[in-house]
Amino acid sequence: MKLYVIRHGRTPWNEKGLMQGRVNIKLSETGKKEAKDIREKLKDINFDICISSPLKRTLETASIVTDNKYKIITDELLIERNLGEFEGKKYAEYEKLKFWDYKLNNDSYGVEPVKDILKRTSSFLNNLKEKNYKTVLIVSHAATIRAINYNIIGYDSNTDFLEFKPTHGEIYEYEIWWKIFKATVLSHEYDHLFGILHIDIAEKIYDMPQDERKKFRSLDENKYLVVSKTKKYKHPLR
């Protein structure tokens, strides 16, 4: 299955440097142009379906990019991060509080924890594997795309997680083989999926207490494939 993932075009709030979160803002004229540019880049791709966040800016982008030639459905799992009290405020006020630290499960100020974004996007991908689509267009938001990318390819550190910054007008392409499963254990602090298959298993690893994770890593070598970035352990998948 091929996934083409795009961020919505710019909005007036993007242009003012304001945090949108789930505030339902339409595209600006610049955003509409960005969507048209993406449409031109993808004109030779035949999509089975377009799946969009339900917010106006993503639906408007989806409509322009597909030129209404493909079915567009919405999925709440693709919605933007809830930014709580920071919605409508300048980005700098939000960024300095480090709400992108994926090791934290902090919902202060009503901000959706990163862990929750990762879990809902992994659920989205897990649902997707049950479909018979070959080529899918996904229209979403920066936070959600960052989490999708995390679930697909993984990261070695929090710094890498932050370094991936989905931009307006860019297309992120992924090819997924659902019959390949790899789980990457980043460290004693955090486990996540590398590849995509069995995201449900990855979610279970994610929620395990540290002592349970250790048991998972030491399971019989014929049962799971766990590849350590530090090369300390490796078990094949049955």
Claim to verify: residue 140 and residue 214 sit in the same structural domain: no
Nearest residue to 61 (alpha-carbon basis) of 78, 83, 82, 85:
78
Claim to verify: residue 203 and residue 123 sit in the same structural domain: no
Claim to verify: residue 118 and residue 219 sit in the same structural domain: no
What are the tens digits of pLDDT across the range 26-69? Answer: 999 999 999 999 999 999 999 999 999 999 999 999 999 999 89
Claim to verify: residue 171 and residue 215 sit in the same structural domain: no
pLDDT the model gives residue 114: 83
Claim to verify: residue 41 and residue 112 sit in the same structural domain: yes
Active site residue 80: yes
The one catalytic residue among 34, 60, 80, 112: 80
What are the tens digits of pLDDT across the range 116-173? Answer: 888 899 899 989 888 889 999 999 999 999 888 888 876 655 556 667 788 998 898 8
Claim to verify: residue 113 and residue 160 sit in the same structural domain: yes
Tokens of 222: 């014929």
β-strands 135-140, 226-228: how paired? unpaired
> 175, 195, 213: which is the final residue of a domain?
175
Band of pLDDT at residue 91, cut at 50, 70 and 90: confident
Average the pLDDT over 5-34 and give the result: 94
> 155, 175, 195: which is the final residue of a domain?
175
pTM of structure: 0.73
Within 13 Å of residue 55, how many CA atoms lie on the same side as its CB?
24
Claim to verify: residue 102 and residue 79 sit in the same structural domain: yes
Element (H, E) at 210: helix 210-217
What range does the domain containing 225 cover?
A: 183-235
Instruction: Please determine, for residue 108, whether its predicted confidence score (pLDDT) is greater than 90.
Output: no
Claim to verify: residue 26 and residue 107 sit in the same structural domain: yes
Lowest average pLDDT, out of 1-10, 57-66, 91-100, 194-203, goes to 194-203
Percent of the chain at pLDDT above 70?
64
> 175, 199, 227: which is the final residue of a domain?
175
Band of pLDDT at residue 101, cut at 50, 70 and 90: low
Tokens of 49: 């379906």
Claim to verify: residue 230 and residue 159 sit in the same structural domain: no
Claim to verify: residue 128 and residue 187 sit in the same structural domain: no
Query: Which has more pLDDT, 89 or 182?
Result: 89
Phi-psi region of 202 (alpha: psi -120 to 50; beta: other; left: phi over 0): alpha
How many domains are contained in the chain? 2
Active site residue 188: no
Claim to verify: residue 197 and residue 166 sit in the same structural domain: no
Instruction: Please determine, for residue 221, whether its predicted confidence score (pLDDT) is greater than 50.
Output: no
What are the tens digits of pLDDT across the range 184-208? Answer: 333 222 333 333 333 334 444 545 5
Query: Which has more pLDDT, 75 or 222?
Result: 75
Q: What is the CATH number of the domain that holds 77?
A: 3.40.50.1240
Claim to verify: residue 129 and residue 216 sit in the same structural domain: no
Instruction: Please determine, for residue 230, whether its predicted confidence score (pLDDT) is greater than 80.
Output: no
